[in-house]
Amino acid sequence: MTNPAAIEIAGLRKHFGRTRALDGLDLRVERGEVHGFLGPNGAGKSTTIRILLGLLRSDGGTVRLLGADPWRDAVSLHRRLAYVPGDVTLWPNLTGGEAIDLLGRLRGGFPANRRDELISRFELDPRKKGRAYSTGNRQKVALIAAFAGEPELLILDEPTSGLDPLMDAVFRQCVAEAHERGATVLLSSHILSEVEELCDRVSIIRTGRTVDAGSLAELRHLARTTITAQLVRRDADGIGARLRAAGVHELTIEGSTVRCQADPEALEAVLRALTDAGVRALTSRPPTLEELFIKYYAAEQPGEGRDEAAAVR
Amino acid sequence: MNGHMMKEDASQRPFAGMRVLVQLALRRDRIALPAWVYVLIAIAASTGYSLRGLYPTEQSRAQFAAILNATGSTIAIYGPVESTSLGGVTAWRIAVLAAVLAAVMSILLVVRHTRAEEQTGRQELLGASPVGRRAVPAAALGVALLANSAVALGISVAMPLAGCTFTGALALGLAVGACGCFFAGLAALTAQFAQTSRGANSAACAAVGVFFLIRATADAGGHRWLLWFTPLGWVERVGAYSANRWWVLALPAAGALGLAVVATRLAAVRDLGAGLLGSRFGPERAGRDLSGPYGLAWRLHRGALLGWSIGFLVGGAAIGYIAKDIGGVLSSSSKLVQIIDEIGGHQALVDAYLAASMGIFGLVAGAYAVQATLRARGEESSGRAQLLLAGPVGRVRWAAGHCAAALLGSALVLAAGGLGAGLAHGLRMHDVSGQVPRLVLAALAQWPAVAVVAALAAALFGLLPARTPVAWAALTVFLLLGQLGPVLKLNQAVMDVSPFTHLPRVPGDAWTWPPVGWLVATAGGLLALALDGFRRRDLDLD
Ligand SMILES: Nc1ncnc2c1ncn2[C@@H]1O[C@H](COP(=O)(O)OP(=O)(O)O)[C@@H](O)[C@H]1O
Ligand SMILES: [Mg+2]
């Protein structure tokens, strides 16, 4: 492999005074992939991104960005990437158009037609001064400047928090286009539908540590499936005991209806127990994204989910 | 806290929530405000105390006063000595200084709690809670009234402790406090018009400058009727320790009240976040010059630079215009003429006056330098710097742009002041071609010390970004050392702390190059520390 991964982070640590913001974080983003970067508020996403941009200095661990050191080689790396913060502040006396041009020219400029096309797609009025823009419009300014330059790597930190659904759709198109031309995207977001639509893989972090990483299908696979079965007979002999032995969760039996949740490795035993008892109807539902993330985000976690994930990897 | 206050209906009670806002402001300013008040009181007490030691007898003070009133080089800055009692001499020395400081304290205070809050969007949170529309400026003015009352009370108690009489101290304290209140009202007004807190502060501080120049012209040029047209002149007209004209206090009081009423009315009728001035639209595309960190720095600094330069040009012209009259106004008695001759004749008097004025220029240019340098900090904490620094812009290059604006800008501003003085003085002396270069150089002689101030602010930015306001404290210390040090006969080692102490007093004295050289070297060293520190540290956002 001559071409290293776009982002390689291992054991990254960072503290602010007594606060430990990052505590051994790992992250790997391959070239050309759109990578979702998820975690509850305060998990350390923005801190990680600022370290990647050389705005903060790491306290430990290794960080490689496009094969280089983000602190030492900041300037040359920044020629190849664009960044959109979640909370964009603009110069109060510069217009949006001027800010876009300024940010673009820093990276060596961009074709004027590309700029104008994006301005019209995002429906931005570039003649307004920075102080007159709403949160969403300030974000559009940063997004247009980022997409217009067609950089190799896009680092987006909750870039759509202020956008309306229409503009959000434009944003998704732009990310998809960037993906098509081979750009790498690191996208921190709380909007799960956006993540599901755009991201090849995701990394989930909590309290400064990586909890899990993989494709959404893989992550789903690791989570419990909800099973509802109608049995042939009411109160089948010993079905409750057999299911419990197989390791199901939240088991309820009401007459001939059995409901439970099963971990992936318990699935086979559960199905066998059910078919032995005689099944009239069976539905199984994979976890919704919300369920998946609530499980990951919840502060107090039994520990199983994480151990399994580690074991599978 | 005060739940019942917040429940009141805002639309019917324009001042609802004011008490909570005052408490909030006092809590946020719990360090800065007592520090300002303390400094103001300490100036009065320590000046009185020191003058008692230096001029213990009525006779010694009378002699001191006679020389001062004759020479006039100090009259432009402090006004004439009107009473030779200990209190009178003390009041002469500190009245204008304390009034200017009270004005600046009040302006910064009011703008900090009005326009600055609005600009950062914090006020939106308050505006959505049951807080009356007029409550925000009214609360800021209330806090300013409290602070100025504390100053007035403090001065009238502290000066008698230093041996001055009480009545005059009360008059002086009230005059200073009332002046502070007047400028608080003015700042509340500029905060309604300007879009940014910087704009509001600049406009109000420019007014202080203009009023100071009117006062200086009135005193030094012998047009004392002009004193009635400037709040800084009212302080003098109160005549603490001489006439004690209490009724003059009604002028600043009425002015403050009128300004406060207008400002709070305006606050009630305009949109949140909007100023009454300032356009919302501009060019669709960036011009050629806006293409990198230096282009942006120029764009961000040029407005302020233009404003300061014009201010200095006008200020210089006012100072230069009256230079010729120095010493001629009050020196009619033969004894005074003799004193004047002893200290070098009329030319020496004019030069001493011009050199003292250049010293004031230096300090004011120091304020420009600190403001311009700390623009970098504002860019950083607002998050705008990270947009640039996430692009291919080196830290040093970015910070250097702002430092350059401070260093070159302060030279430009000083030169403008010297040019104004040279033109005006030259026209009256029929010697424009001689006076312009002479006074431009004299003004630029202040630059090494200004550069040290800028570099000090830069070093704070690079090494201790959370402590950048210390730069303003340092400048205030330099101001006090320069203004009070010589009269209080402070220890030279203490005086040497201020870079301004080391400058050659030109015109008049000979140029001395070694201090200039090592002041510049000090500035260079601090600047190197600053840039290196900034290169190594984390970006620090609010
Ligand atoms: N400059 C700072 N000073 C102190 N603490 C900070 C600073 N920046 C971030 N933190 C803390 O670090 C943790 C991670 O923050 P952040 O990276 O912003 O989280 P996220 O972006 O995932 O919401 C939080 O606990 C936050 O309070
Ligand atoms: Mg964040």
Whether a cis peptide bond, with omega within 30° of 0, leads into B507 is yes
A11-68 pLDDT tens trace: 999 999 899 999 999 999 999 999 999 999 999 999 999 999 999 999 999 999 999 9
- B335 has pLDDT over 80: no
- B329 has pLDDT over 60: no
- How far lies A264's CA from each of A221, A286, B160, B342, B445, in Å? 7, 10, 86, 104, 81
Q: Which of A171-185, A236-250, A295-309 has the lowest mean pLDDT?
A: A295-309
CA atoms within 13 A on the CB side of A26: 8
CATH class, domain A7-218, is: alpha beta
| Ligand 1 center–CA A86 separation, angstroms | 13
Q: Tell me the residue ranges of DSSP E strands in A66-183.
A: 81-84, 153-157
B471: tokens are 């730069």
**pLDDT score of A310:** 37
pLDDT mean over A160-186: 94
CA–CA dist B143, B15 (Å, integer): 14
CA–CA dist B526, A36 (Å, integer): 44
A135: tokens are 């949160």
Answer whether B280 touches A (CB < 8 Å).
yes
Cβ atoms of B133 and B18 within 8 Å: the answer is: no
CA–CA dist A185, A170 (Å, integer): 16
A166: tokens are 């229409």
Atom 3, ligand 1: residue with shortest CA distance: A16
Residue A39 Cα: closest atom of ligand 1 = 22
Cβ–Cβ gap A106/B392 under 8 Å: yes
Residue A14 Cα: closest atom of ligand 1 = 12
Cβ atoms of B40 and B152 within 8 Å: the answer is: no
Cβ–Cβ gap B392/A107 under 8 Å: yes
Helix (H) or strand (E) holding A228: strand A225-231
Residue B79 φ then ψ, to 5°: 85, 175
CA atoms within 13 A on the CB side of B203: 19
Cβ atoms of B441 and B356 within 8 Å: the answer is: no
Residue spans of the domains in chain B: they are: 1-273, 293-542
**Mean of per-residue pLDDT scores for chain A:** 88
**pLDDT score of B34:** 95
**pLDDT score of A307:** 40
CA–CA dist A270, A286 (Å, integer): 15
Residue spans of the domains in chain A: they are: 7-218, 220-312
- B155 has pLDDT over 90: yes
- B328 has pLDDT over 70: no
B367-409 pLDDT tens trace: 999 999 999 999 999 999 999 999 999 999 999 999 999 999 9
Residue B538 Cα: closest atom of ligand 1 = 1
Note the ligand closest to the C-alpha atom of A38: 1
**pLDDT score of B453:** 98
**C-alpha A202: how far from chain center:** 5
- B1 has pLDDT over 50: no
B38: tokens are 């303390």
Atom 12, ligand 1: residue with shortest CA distance: A21
Q: For A279, which DSSP code?
A: E
Question: At A162, which amino acid appears?
Answer: G
Confidence of residue A204 (pLDDT cuts 50, 70, 90): very high
Q: pTM for this structure?
A: 0.84
Confidence of residue B355 (pLDDT cuts 50, 70, 90): very high
**pLDDT score of B484:** 85
Cβ atoms of A212 and A204 within 8 Å: the answer is: yes
A-B CB pairs within 8 A amount to 116
- A239 has pLDDT over 70: yes
Fold of A220-312: Alpha-Beta Plaits (3.30.70)
**pLDDT score of A309:** 37
Residues 6+ apart with CB under 8 A from A270: A227, A243, A246, A248, A260, A262
Burial label for B6, CB within 10 Å (0-12, 13-18, 19+), is middle
CA–CA dist A198, A187 (Å, integer): 9
B167-199 pLDDT tens trace: 999 999 999 999 999 999 999 999 998 888 888
CA end-to-end distance (rounded Å), chain B: 26
ipTM rounded to 2 decimals: 0.81
| Ligand 2 center–CA A203 separation, angstroms | 15
B541 compared with B455, residue with greater pLDDT: B455
Q: Which of A252-261, A288-297, B506-515 has the lowest mean pLDDT?
A: A288-297
Express the helix, strand and coil content of chain B in percent, nearest 5 each.
Answer: 75, 0, 25
Of the ranges A15-29, A296-310, B124-138, B343-357, the best mean pLDDT one: A15-29
CA–CA dist B189, A286 (Å, integer): 63
Query: Which ranges in A122-180 belong to alpha helices (H)?
Result: 135-148, 165-180
